[in-house]
Structure formats: structure tokens, C-alpha cells
Structure 1
């Protein structure tokens, strides 16, 4: 009796274990930030996108494909030419993620490694197109405009593949050594030109000042000559009276001197 009881318990345990194994084999988990697409051997990829949590599927008939739908970074270096035919090396940093409702189409047309298959090619295409609209100097001075234009064009292009771009930024922008040397020489030439212009302007100001001074001296001499001509003998008499006054002052100060030496006489006017 006991042997039959143990045998029944053993069969029941075995059945529970087998049943548990079967149940476990029909379950799959979708972690946070992920989504799943179901591939059916008879119907193909289903249009339904499975959300987070634990779900059932039919073993052998169905297969869940898990996608990470969180934003991920991708750095893409590109070498291209500017509008003025300068070689430009650019590195673009992209934060991308798949559009959730387009996961079935992404899996069907591109595959699970959609980022590596799509982003490098479309990024190179867009960067070459945008950079060719600007010359080398504009790429430096209008970097924000270039970055915005790349972001808009690239986002539109990526959307056609079911990809969403959360951020696009230019992290690296360099030119060839020949161009950098040319820029340095241009800056030196501009500084030398500014210095030369300063000296030219200074000489021009000094020339104008000399002309104004000469004109002033000429006008002053003309005024004095006109005054002498118009005053005539009256001016001479006035000067004699002024000289006599000076002599009287000198005699008044010198009590023991009845005449003035020529050294004490006032200068003729």
C-alpha cells in the first residue's frame, strides 16, 4: 500500500516538473525599455508589438525577437569637402532609437542590427550634402547653423527607415594642414596690413597738423603787417612813449645814476 502511494506521489511530482518545464518554455520576458516582435513560422512577422512584462508564445511555432528601444549613442567619422574644396574631417555623435510601432518593418527590411546598417551610410550622405553648401570659414563661424541643418536633414532621412534621432551634434571638426597654414598666413598678413594702415593714418594726421599750423602762422604774420601798415607814424610815437616810460622807471629805481647804461636800456620795439 505504501509502495503504491509513493509511486503515485512520484508520478505526480514528475508530472508537475514536466508541466512546469512546459510552462516555462512557453514564457518570455520583455525588460523595461525593450519591446518584442513575434516571428510565426506560418504567418511570418506579426504586426503586433509586445510591451514590457511576461508573455506566452508557442514553442517551435513562434519566436520572440527582443529590441532595445532606449536611446543609444553612435559616433560616425566622415571625411568630405567644403564649398571651396577644402578637406574637412567631421565626427558626428548621434543618439538614436527605433520607432516602436515600426519594429516589425525594421526587423523585416533591415534586421536586428539596424543601427550599424543604416546610420553610417545615411550620415555620410547627409554630411557630404550639407558641408558642400558652406566654405571652410563658414563651417567655423556658422557651426551652429551647420549642426542644425545636419540634424534636420538626417532626422528626416532616418525617419524613412523607422529610426528616431534624439540628438545630433558635431563633436569634431578639423581641416587639412595646408588649410590651417594658409589661415595662419592670412591672419599675419591682416595684422601687418592693419599696422601699415595705422602708420599711414598717423602720417596723414601729422601732415594735416603741419598744414594747419603753417596757415595759422601765415595769417598771424599778415594781421601784424596789416596792423603796422594801418597804424603808420602813430604806432612809432606810441612805441617811443612806452620806451621813455621804461627809462623813467629805471631812473627812479637808481638814485645814484643820472644816466642809463646801454645794458639797462629797454630793447627797441
Structure 2
């Protein structure tokens, strides 16, 4: 019996029962949904091309949208999912080389691909050139849109040939062939790099691997180089001999100065001794006695005019 006004506790709420047997069907539905999604993706891949794109190390992927053209944002390394209407073209952004050489199968073009260039003297030189370059990752989309995958043949090759000829035209054959070759290569690098910079291509190095001269010119240059080397050797020998002569002069002067100093010292010593003897004639007898001390003397000759210098009683 409940008295009016008294507090009556609320009956406990019933927790809705969730049959354990219904969990398995729910998980099954989720699993079936995931499978359906993958099936749909596979069907799209078969009908429209793969939507999974893997970009390898040192590569960049350029996206081409069928409805909007080339997209500016590139795909970095790794696995990507792209819509079926987007195709991806991969470009290497690692250091690449382009070689033009007179040796068959050494360069990018089969056969003699050596660059022929005229010097200031009007001589024709043959040059084997290797250029090391790479694409700027953020500019690959522009390269793809303006030049395409064959960009090396379209822009790099003609730029190299034009720049090399321009530099050589301001040089002598000896400058290109001789000791200034590295300086000439540096100038070629600057010209090629400036020409390709706006195309999203960085030029890292230009190697002048071989320079072919006309036979007579090559012989004349070799003779001149040998003559220069011999002249440099003779200058070195002359300088060495001159230094040796100077060393001997210095050494002789040192010996002479030492001898003079010694002579002055001995003369000064004699002068002092003579002064002391003049003041005290018996000093010589004293020095003589000092000299005899410690010596085993059996016979001694004494000048008669000197008197007795030893006291026989002692």
C-alpha cells in the first residue's frame, strides 16, 4: 500500500534485447557491400581503363582529363586512384643524359651524330657532346602539354646543337682543343641552361668528350702544345738553378761573415792579451804554469833569461 505523497521508485527500464544471432548477418551485409564496390571498380577498370595508377620512384604523373585537358597538378610517387575519364602519362624527373657522338651506337641517334662547328679561323671541328639534364617536377604538365613525351628530340637536341655552334664560333681551335676546354664547356653549359630554363628543363652539366680537328691543324696544335710545355719546363729548370745559385751565395756569405767574425774575435783577444802583458809581464809565466799543470813532465827547458819560475822547495 502506497501512502499519498510518498516517493515511489521508478521501475527499472528494460534494456532492448539484441539477439546475438543477428550480428553475423549484419557483418555479412557489410562484407557484401565492400565486395560490390570492388566489383564495380573492376568493371569500370575493364570498360574505361584502370583507375589505379602507380607512379614509380623518380617519376611524376601528368593527368589528362577527357573533359578538361591537361591538369596542372601532377601525381607524385605512390599509388593513386583516378577517375576513368582521366589518363596518366609518367615522366622521369631523374637526371638524364643526351649524347651526340661520332661513334656508332654511342649517342641517341644511330650513326655519326657528331656536332660540326666552325671556329673563328674558319676551321671545322667535330665535337662529341654529352648533356646531363632533368625535368622540373612542377613543370612536367607544361612540358607534356607543349612538347609531349618526345621533348628531348623536339627541344633538347636542337638547343644543344645551336648553343654549341654559337660558342665555338667565338673561339679558336686551340681554345676548344687545348687547356681552355673546361672554360669553353662552362660557357656551353650557361648558354644551353638559359635556353631551356623557360621550358621547365634544368641543365646540370655539359661534357666535351672529344674534339676532332683537321689532321694538319691537330699536328700543328700538338707541336705548339709540346713547345709550350718544353718552354714551361725550361722556365722551371732555370728558376730552380737560380734558386740554387742564390742558396749557394747566401751560404758563402754566411761562411765569409762567420770567418770575418772569428778573425775579429781572435784579433780582439790578442789585443787584450797584449795590453795585459804590457801591464804585467809576469802574466805569461802564470799562463805557462797553468798549461803545465796536470801533465807528466820529466824534462823541461827553461830560458835562462827568465829566471826561476818554479819554486823547487815546493
Compute the TM-score of the two structures, normalised by the length of structure 1: 0.60
Give 1:121's aligned residue. Answer: 158
Distance 1:134 1:183 in 2: 15
Compute the TM-score of the two structures, normalised by the length of structure 2: 0.52
Give 2:42's aligned residue. Answer: 21
CA-CA distance at 1:73 after TM superposition = 1.5
Structure 1 gap segments, 5+ residues each: 1-7, 195-269
Aligned residues: 181
Give 1:199's aligned residue. Answer: none
> Residue 59 of structure 2: which of 19, 31, 34 is its match?
34
CA-CA distance at 1:178 after TM superposition = 3.1
Give 2:179's aligned residue. Answer: 141
2:174–2:221 contact (8 Å) kept in structure 1? no
- 1:107 maps onto 2:117 in alignment: no
SS of structure 1 residue aligned to 2:171? coil
RMSD of aligned alpha carbons: 2.8
| Alignment CA distance shift 1:23-1:29 (3 Å) | farther
Give 1:63's aligned residue. Answer: 87
Distance 1:163 1:150 in 2: 16
> Residue 216 of structure 2: which of 174, 178, 181 is its match?
178
> Residue 87 of structure 1: which of 103, 124, 127 is its match?
124
Structure 2 gap segments, 5+ residues each: 1-27, 101-113, 232-314
Deviations 1:114-141 (A, max 9, x none): 1122121001110111011111112223
Greater RCO, 1 or 2 (C-alpha within 8 Å, sep 6+): 1
Give 1:166's aligned residue. Answer: 204
Greater strand share, structure number: 1
| Alignment CA distance shift 1:17-1:55 (3 Å) | closer
SS of structure 2 residue aligned to 1:48? coil
CA-CA distance at 1:113 after TM superposition = 1.6
Greater helix share, structure number: 1
Distance 2:223 2:174 in 1: 14
SS of structure 2 residue aligned to 1:134? coil
Deviations 1:74-109 (A, max 9, x none): 112311111111111111111111111111111111
Distance 1:127 1:43 in 2: 40
SS of structure 2 residue aligned to 1:50? coil
| Alignment CA distance shift 1:187-1:70 (3 Å) | closer
Give 1:72's aligned residue. Answer: 96
CA-CA distance at 1:150 after TM superposition = 0.5
